Amino acid sequence: MKVGVAELLKLLVNTAEKGANVARIIRSDADLLNLLVEEKTGDSKNQRFVQDFKTLADVLVQEIVRHDLTEQIPDIKSSIYGEESNTFTNAVGETITVEIQATKQQTIGLLNQVLDGNEHAADLLAKEAHESVVVDIVGGLVKLVGLEVDVDDIGVWIDPIDSTAQYIGGLHGTKDDSGMASEGLQCVVVIVGVYDKHTGLPLVGVTNQPFSTYDTQSKRWIGETIWGVCVGDTRVNSLTKAPMDKPRDKPVILMSTSESQDIQKSFIDDCSLHYAAGAGYKLLCAIQGLADSYILSKSSTYKWDACGPHAILLSQGGGLISFKSLQDKDLQGSDTLVRDLQIRYNKSDQPGSCGAKQWCNEGGIVAYTSLAMLETIKKIIG
């Protein structure tokens, strides 16, 4: 079965926006917010489901994307993968599989079981799950006319709410002079990526920042969606503005505060180092041109973090490779070698590992928007 890339992109954008709506409504409704930030301890925790409400929020967004994709493209159901398990188990051994049901009332009934009879919360969440969402995609689609992919040849990675700690904390982050927030709700991203099962390369990516900008008049958060397509020779994305107003004196490099001191020291003289929460947000900053690269030497990101942003980076002429491969290889300006080094999403980097570890990006990551920038980074690390 073939599916048009334009139709697939529209579906991904709409489902990501629906997920972002869930993320926003949880933080805007007092009852849901209390559930989100409540810390259950002792007997109170044992009497409820083992996983807490923040896990349910993640799972619900994930299952909304899964449901909406499967509803339009039934054959893709077995090829959709996410960060979270959708099975909840309570203290007496009862298990409930969280899935979006055929009707709103059925979904309310299921969520009521998970939420210990909290009908208000179940009703609000089910309403959003069954809401029809249509996002107007401006520009770019004309280049996708006639472009198709075989449903049997694609898989999907979902990161429902990247940067969960920032989501729960709820801070209104402050942007620095470069336009980046080091922490806060701005760092939360809903990520969906489509990859080729045979090559492992990403094809279509969507990032949705539910809390991109705070409107002080309406006291509401406004989101932002960025998408990119890299299928065959077709490269197109939603980015329309120049990434920066003027050339930089030094490359801007994003890192985690937990990055090794040796790695940080190697860049500090030649680059301007910045720090931010969330792998998805740091990748997004590179995509937007707020940073020239995001560098991580540790194996602490996952396929669901990277697949969507990687597709957008490829659509820009950039990419995502492992930090270790950049250390080990002599690039010599070779486009072919760099293509071969791109992170893959169709197999584990750690065969034999269990759980989430099998889907980590082994050897760290380096996100870049041009081959020239990648060569600059290579010169620094040697």
Enzyme catalytic residues: 58, 83, 159, 161-162, 164, 305
Please write down the long-range contacts of 121-128, taking CB distance under 8 Å and 24 or more positions apart: 121/31, 121/32, 121/35, 124/25, 124/29, 124/31, 124/32, 125/22, 125/25, 125/26, 125/32, 125/60, 128/18, 128/21, 128/22, 128/25, 128/64
Q: For the chain, give the secondary structure using H, E and C.
A: CEEEHHHHHHHHHHHHHHHHHHHHHHHHCHHHHHHHHCCCCHHHHHHCCCCCHHHHHHHHHHHHHHHHHHHHCHHHHHHEEECCCCEEECCCCCEEECCCCCCHHHHHHHHHHHCCCCHHHHHHHHHHHCCCCCCCCCCCHHHHCCCEEEHHHEEEEEEEEECHHHHHHCCCCCECCCCCECCCHHHCEEEEEEEECCCCCEEEEEEEEEEEEEECCCCEEEEEEEEEEEECCEEEECCCCCCCCCCCCCCEEEECCCCCHHHHHHHHCCCEEEECCCHHHHHHHHHCCCCCEEEECCCCCEHHHHHHHHHHHHHCCCEEECHHHHHHCCCCCCHHHHHHCECCCCCCCCCCCCHHHHHECCCCEEEECCHHHHHHHHHHHC
For the chain, the C-alpha Rg in angstroms (whole number) is: 21
Give binding residues for Mg(2+) as ranges. 83, 159, 161-162, 305
Give binding residues as ranges. 83, 159, 161-162, 305
Of 285, 297, 366, give the one whose Cα is nearest residue 331.
366
